Every structure is written in C-alpha cells, then in structure tokens.
A and B are shown apart, each in its own frame.
Chain A
C-alpha cells in the first residue's frame, strides 16, 4: 500500500524539530520508523508532515549521570539490549522486541512513545519507574511513567512534543521481564508479558513495581500484586500469592491470541516468573 502524500523534513536540531511540529496541521515524529511507516502505508495514519529526528546529534547515547540512566531518543533496541548498564527488565524487553532488522532500526524511545498495547519495553520502563522527558515549544516537561500511557497507542505526549529521553532512576534492587510471545516462547508481540522491579533488605521485600503488557488496553501497573509482595519475605509462596492478584483492577481484553480467561491466567504466570527472576537478581 502507498501512504497518502505527505511532507518530510529532517531538521538538524531539536528546536527546529519542535517548531516544525508546531507549525503543521498533523505531524508525526519519526526516529526508526518501524511503527510509523507501516501505519502510514496502511493509511491508518496519514500525517501531513513527518519530522525525522534521525539527523539530530546527541540523542543516540545511553548515559549514566550517577543518579539515573538516560536513554536518548535515537538509542536503538539493539543498543538497549546489549548495554551493560541498562537494568535487566529493559534489556530483556529490548532483546525480545521485533526481529534483528527491527532491533537495528527501531528505538527504545520510539517503542515507548508508540505505546502499543502488546509491546515489551513500555512494561519495563513502567516497572522501573522511569521518567519520560519531553521537549515541546515551551521547553522541557518531565512525565512520570505512571502517567505516560493513556490508552491504546496513546501516550501523554502532546502533538508538538518529542520524547527526547527516558530517565531510569538508579535505585538498586533487581528487575526482570518475561512474556509469552504470539508465536510461542519469547518471539513476537506479547500475548501477555510482565516486568518486575524489587528491592530487598534484610530478607524482606522493601519496594516493588510490576507492570503488564498485552493484557489490557495499555501497558499498566499491576498495583495489587505490587502491594501484595512488599513487606513479605519474597518466598515462593509470597510470590505466588502476589501474582494471583496480577490483574486486579485491570480490564483484560480478548484478542486473536487469547481469551480473557487465558490472558488473566497468563498475566499471573508472567508476574510470578518476572517477580521470581527479579528477586533472584535483587538477592545476588
């Protein structure tokens, strides 16, 4: 399929990019183009202007600032997956995103901004309590990940904002991501996936965040499971009890890959597996 006719610009600076976004009737930001271009070719999305941020310098790095990690807008899935500083949950999620070609082109920030209901990395950034840094006409805005995912394919970004950076706080502990992919194993979009982050002190779970993907209308926190695991000893029984509450308060949606009953069950399995792995890492 051919996209509808559109203008294309590749500005050299973020200032220019933001200005172009503001001037257009309907503009979209493109980094790797792995999600945007297919939607345009299917004419599900027909922007007047595509703003390619690929030529803007300084966005391709993963930086350790001491109190957080900064993942720039042009950091590819492959970079995230192969980093030795990115927490396990996000590394794992990036390594299971798309296929080799997609991982070489697509970006972590792009996957997060795209907010697909079954994508891997949104769940990981949510569990890691990341902060999204958006650049708009009036400057920089920090959006907590808890507020970032609004609905299917909808984030809190304004039309004239660019997600320039994801900041992951360095709070220690352990993290993990697990999923069942649509073609089984870890391959393809998640039928259900869960990311978990935990801290452990003196044998007790002191803090935890758990996020689901593929289950509801958006990547979201499994708050009941989070509350249930904190304060426990993180034993197998405690993990199991917490994971039983994986979808409490979440509307589970049926699709081609699973019924509500199946996805509810899978969410529990994935939360249990992710929590178990995160605890193992936290204790090591």
Chain B
C-alpha cells in the first residue's frame, strides 16, 4: 500500500476557509443579470375552498411581470412522489387549500420588494372548511382531509416480520401468549414523538434560467438531490434530462428538508421560460418553517412484555404518523425506515403497525434520522420503563436481549431485515465499564444525597443507512418518479490531469458533511498524491455521472466506495505506465513520495507528473494502452449498513421550576471504519445537538385551526452551544462487510441515539417522585407539571 495513508487520520477540512470567510458560493449568492424575483401569496387557512382570486391590482403594481395561479400551470401536473399514496401536491392550490401557507398565487417582479408588495395586493376569497389537525381525530376519518380519498389513513406499514402475513400472525400470537402468562410483566406507554422543523440555517433558494438557443434550463438550487431535481424538471417540461443543468453549490444544512422536490423549483423554471428572464426565489425563515417539509410527528403506544429477570418476550408498537396534507418525495416511506430498525439490536419478537395519517398541515418527510429516531425512541423508552418496573439495571436488561455478536454474519432482524455486522454487547460494555460512566452514576448519587433531583439515562441504538442496495428499486426506491430510474448506487470518477492534479467527481454533494476532505483522503490514500492537489466536484449534473444525493448517511459508504474503486482502477493503470517507463514489472511498482518506484529500489522512480504526461501523450504509451488517466465506478452495496452505539447522560432537574440541565453526555458509537475522526466527531456533535433539541426544546406547535404557532426562531427554540455540555465521545470499530471501505455512516447516528437518552435520564431523576414518563420536549412547564401530577397522585 501507499506510504502516505491518510485514511483514519485527522485532516482539517479543506472547505472550511471558504465557508468561514464567507467566500463560499450559496444559491442566493448567484446573481445572474436581469434576474427577476418571486413572492408567493399563501393561504391563511388550513382548509378552505377558494372562491375567487383577483390578481389584477397585483399585475398593475410597479415592477410586476406576471402573476400566476393554478390555471397557468395545471397542465404541468402535481409534484411526483416516490410512494404515490395520498394526495400529490399541485404546483399551486387547485380550488382548495389544505394547509396554512399553501401557495395560492405566484408573483414575479423586477425586485424582491416589488414582488412582496404586489403579493399583498392579490385578493383571494376563501370559503372555510373544517380542518383536522389532531392525529387521532384525523385517523377517525370524522373530517376528511381530501374529499376524494377513501380515508385519511393513506398507508399502513405492518411488520413482524415485514411483508410476511404468516409471520405477523405468529409474532402476535407469541406476544399475546407471553402477556397471558402469570409470571410476566407487561409495560405500556403512550408517547408523542413531536413534529419538528428541520431549520437549515440556509433557507431554501432556487434560481432558474431558460436558454432558448440551447433549449436548456440552467438551475441553481439549494438541494441535496440535484440529479433528481434535473429529472423532475425534465419530466415536467417534456425534456431529456440532459436538457436540464442543475447545480447545487454550497448547501447550508439540509437534514433531509432539501431532500425533496418543491413546487417552487418547478415554478421558477416555468416562469423563466415564460418571461425569458432568470427567476429567483429564496424563502424567508417563516416560509422555511411553514412551507419546507417538516419531520417526525408520531403518537404511539409501545408495549413490552418480559420476565421478572429481564428476558424480553415481545414488543409491540402501534403508532399514528403525521403525513401532513400532501405526499411529496418520501412522505409515507419515512415510517417504513422506522420499521427497518423497529426491533433495534434485539432478538425478541416485534410487531409494528404504523398508520400514515393525512392532516391539514404542512407535509412531513425526511428529517435527520427519518423514521429511525422515532422507532428507536419508542423502543428504548419502553425498555427503560420495563427495566425500572422489574428493578433491573437498564444496561443489564439491554445486554441480556441483544443479538449476540457470534450470530453475525447472517443476522435477519425480528422485523425481517438482513443486518451487516454488529457487536452490541462490546459497544455497551465500552460505555458502562468506562470511568466516565462510573463518574456519572457516582455524581448522580452524590446529588441525590443532597436532596437534589439527578438522573442518569442510557440508551442504545442501531440504525440502517448507506442506501442501496440496488434491490431497493424493486420496493419503489429509485428516482423513477423523476424519470431517472437509477438505484441508490454510488458513483465516483477519478481523473489525474496532465499536470498530475486530481479531479474527483462524485454523485453526492455536501450540506456540511465535508466531502472535499473525506473524498480527497480516499483518493490520496490510493494514489499517494497530496490532498491539496485533489479537488472534489459535486452537485453539478452537467459534470457528474448520475448521482443519488446526500441523505440517509450514505455518501461515504456508497459514493465513497465507488470513488475508492475508481481510484484503484487509476492506480492500476498508473502502475502499468510506471512499469513501462521504469522498464520494470507492473507487480513490482509501488507508490509513494509523489510518484511510483520499483519495490526494493526506491531510487528507480518516476513522478506523478511524468506518469500523467505520458498518459496524455499517447505516442509514448505502451502498445494497446489507451490515453488518459481516469476511471469511473458505479458501486451498489450488497446491503445497507447498520451502525450502532450507546449513549448516556447525567441531568439535574430543578424541582421548583422543572428546569432541566444536561451536565454530562457520553457516547460510544460504532460506524465501522473511520475515514476522518474529526469529521465523524463533528457529525456526532451535530446529531446529538439535534436529538437533544428534540428532547428539550423543539416543537412545531399547531393550534386546532392549523396555524403554526412556532414559525420563527423566536418561538421555535433551537439548541445552541450555550445549552449543551461538551460531548465525550468514544468508539468501537466493527467494520461493515458490504463495502470495500468497511464504513457505515454517521450522519444521523447522533440524532437517533440521543433524544431517548435525555428522556430516560430525566425520568430517572424524577423516579423518586413516581414519574414514569414525560413527553418531549422537556420544557420546564411540562417537567414541572409531571412533578405536580406525580405529587398529586401520591
């Protein structure tokens, strides 16, 4: 191997100087000449019939070029969805509005201020209809979200295992039998996993231009899925996908909310072609809250039955999952990701029934973790409640019910999914046998001895990510809905340029993950070319082979592996060229110190410059060798990857006010091999912050009429560094066997592992008072109320 291995080493992020200095290019920074601007007229009601739209005053307002309604764009059809159940979203409201903030008309003007002013002049008359916001009420079908749908329950996912009716019946029978036994313990809790706003710091933004000469759209968008967007635009306008060029430049946070196709992205293209001008739309923070997809929103009952000594005999989760009014990209598929990990890293029979329920609210879709944090939350909360009930150490109960390491490979989980690799007991032991964990427990006991309310929570998790495999396409997961029927493959192209600099082109792009650095490390490790000579191109559909996008913690495992394979091909060709130049055997060539040399004779060497020069001067090549020095690889993994880990934290609760403080937070994560420990740590930090955010602060609150009461960062409280302790991270390493890098993915793990850790700790703190559960977010008012209720009940 190379002598300059940089895999597994801390390499400072190449992209940071530009991002920190404000010289990175974001979509709203794109200033095309003669650009015109968009403002939307939005519904103030959650459900109403539109009886009149008068656009005349707006059309005559200063600077206005056009005002569009559904009549102008109905022929373009609704937005496509991967799981086309429920109601697809029309590009603009079509006769009826179904959530507050739904776009009714689109104003295009010379300046943004003129567009916003003119939008105020559009008159819309509404005939209000009854709205349904509450999930249970919606599930009862008393009020229909859409008249033409049979039920508000647009899809039900059932597992135990998934897709196996006989197995489901068997699992249900086993659980019923265990409950019926006289010597078992059954615990059951109804819990909310509240709705969240993804809140990328960069709001969504898109600018589109139609080039009539080339018959091509040029689109810049803050998206996680540029190829899918190109496909969607092409399909909508009846063009080939190569007639649409989409660039996703720097993307300032995605978390899944930019893993979608939005009506505004199609509408700016429509207006650009109609008006012959570049058209730009950048959402405001309020529009981001109301109109970009939201996440979570489950209410469910978890029930667990086990023996008095901690052997779990069965687990059930029945939940209602809020879909919002319209189905978009993955909407109804998100709970399915919860089914994937529904039995966690455990071996007990598991039954799940997840109802996807439409409501008169904004669409929900992927938000960091997407279905998996919800599922793991219910599982890890109910295991904790069970351990508490039987008076056992929650770590011990988990340990007792894990799938043993020796069962790998070949594990199929109780909900029916093949898992790659795992050693859950080793991971949890690394947490609970650490000095830090012992200190946590000791500190809790010390605080308690002073009469204070302190608690330690632990939780373990497994997640599924790194999608592929290719077979997911048979379940409907591909970009077929956007006319690009590609599986969730990875893609990587490595090109050594004539000056021996390297260009790497990949199918995914960063929204903060550090692709510039990680991919440079992968390629540098293979070729021995320094990282600062390697540049990574991403997010550009004109340059990049078909790419799927950055989501589901998949980039490194899938596109990273593709790039690794491409780099190996380049290395093999370079070895052949070096052998030719050095008059040596190909198998004797080694790489290092900026070139190649003959094994055992390091002075017999050629530089990368010499190799590259030959590659681009074909007359100097050996016979039968093609010119150029580049390779492309498509990688489809044999399976998704299954990272896992254990979290613990110490909290103190102010009994008088209900105020919760997190004093320490520990994790032991296992994401397989690590390419850059600093980037992995950063991902875990951000993930925990968002999980703690859900546990403590964040909630998209709707009133009964469907108004979002938390549309600004004044009301929607995001965690900041001030609110969080320093995280103490450790890891175990259990490489994946489904990709050549042995990596698993770490983008969502922190979020999936953390919310229930905090809630478990707070319940532990309040357990002396008899509190069994507090719903998130653990705002002081709610914790205080739980304390009062427990005291009242005593």
Residue ranges of A at the interface with B (Cβ–Cβ < 8 Å):
1-2, 4-5, 42, 180, 182-185, 187-189, 191, 256-259, 262, 265-266, 269
Contact = CB atoms under 8 A, between A and B. Distances in A.
B709 A256 contact: yes
A269 B658 CA distance: 12
A201 B658 CA distance: 36
A184 B284 contact: no
B723 A184 contact: yes
Contact of A180 (B116, B657, B712): B657
B731 interface: no
B722 A184 contact: no
B188 interface: no
A256 B701 contact: yes
Given A256-B709, A262-B781, A262-B785, A185 B284 contact: no
A1 B720 CA distance: 24
Given A1-B286, A269-B656, A191 B781 contact: yes
A4 B660 contact: no
A207 to B, nearest CB: 27
Contact of A183 (B112, B113, B723): B723
A254 to B, nearest CB: 10
Interface string B652-666: 000011111100000
A281 B784 CA distance: 30
B780 A184 contact: yes
A5, A184, A187, A257, most chain B CB atoms within 10 A:
A184
Contacts of A185: 659, 661, 723
Interface in B388-442: none
A185 B725 CA distance: 14
A256 B784 CA distance: 15
A48 to B, nearest CB: 15
A1 B659 contact: no
Nearest to B659: A184
Contacts of A259: 781, 785
Contacts of B657: 180, 266, 269
Contacts of B710: 256
A189 B116 CA distance: 30
B455 to A, nearest CB: 16
Contacts of A258: 780-781
Given A180-B780, A257-B779, A269-B657, A187 B117 contact: no
Contacts of A184: 659-661, 696, 723, 780
B661 A2 contact: no
A247 B661 CA distance: 27
Contact of B116 (A1, A191, A262, A265): A1
Contacts of A42: 286, 712
Contacts of A2: 112-113, 116
Interface of B: 112-113, 116-117, 284, 286, 656-661, 696-697, 701, 709-710, 712, 714-715, 717, 719-720, 722-723, 779-781, 784-785
A269 B661 CA distance: 18
The winner among B113, B658, B715 for most chain A CB atoms within 10 A is B658
Contacts of B658: 262
Given A182-B717, A183-B723, A4 B661 contact: no
Contacts of A182: 717
Contacts of A189: 714
B61 to A, nearest CB: 12
A259 B658 CA distance: 13
B785 to A, nearest CB: 7
Top 10 nearest A-B pairs (CB, nearest first) are A258-B781, A2-B113, A2-B116, A184-B659, A262-B781, A1-B284, A269-B656, A180-B657, A183-B717, A183-B723
A188 B116 contact: no
Given A1-B116, A184-B660, A259-B785, 10 more contacts: A5-B117, A180-B657, A184-B659, A184-B780, A185-B723, A256-B701, A256-B709, A256-B710, A262-B785, A269-B657
B117 A4 contact: yes
Contacts of B696: 183-184
Given A1-B286, A256-B710, A187 B723 contact: yes
Given A256-B715, A266-B657, A269-B656, A183 B781 contact: no
Contacts of A257: 779-781
Contacts of A266: 657
A110 B661 CA distance: 32
Contacts of A1: 116, 284, 286
Contacts of B719: 183
Contacts of B780: 180, 184, 191, 257-258
13 contacts: A2-B113, A2-B116, A42-B286, A183-B697, A183-B717, A183-B720, A183-B723, A184-B723, A184-B780, A185-B659, A191-B781, A257-B780, A262-B658
A187 B719 CA distance: 11
Nearest to B778: A184
Contacts of B113: 2, 5
Contacts of A183: 696-697, 717, 719-720, 723
A2 B720 CA distance: 27
Q: Which of B112, B116, B712 has its CB near the most chain A CB atoms (within 10 A)?
A: B116
Given A183-B697, A262-B784, A188 B659 contact: no
Nearest to A273: B656
Contacts of B784: 262, 265
A42 B286 CA distance: 9
Nearest to B723: A183
Contacts of B715: 256
A257 B780 CA distance: 8
B112 A180 contact: no
Given A256-B701, A259-B781, A262-B784, A180 B117 contact: no
B643 to A, nearest CB: 30
Nearest to A4: B117
A257 B657 CA distance: 12
Nearest to B782: A262
A43 to B, nearest CB: 8
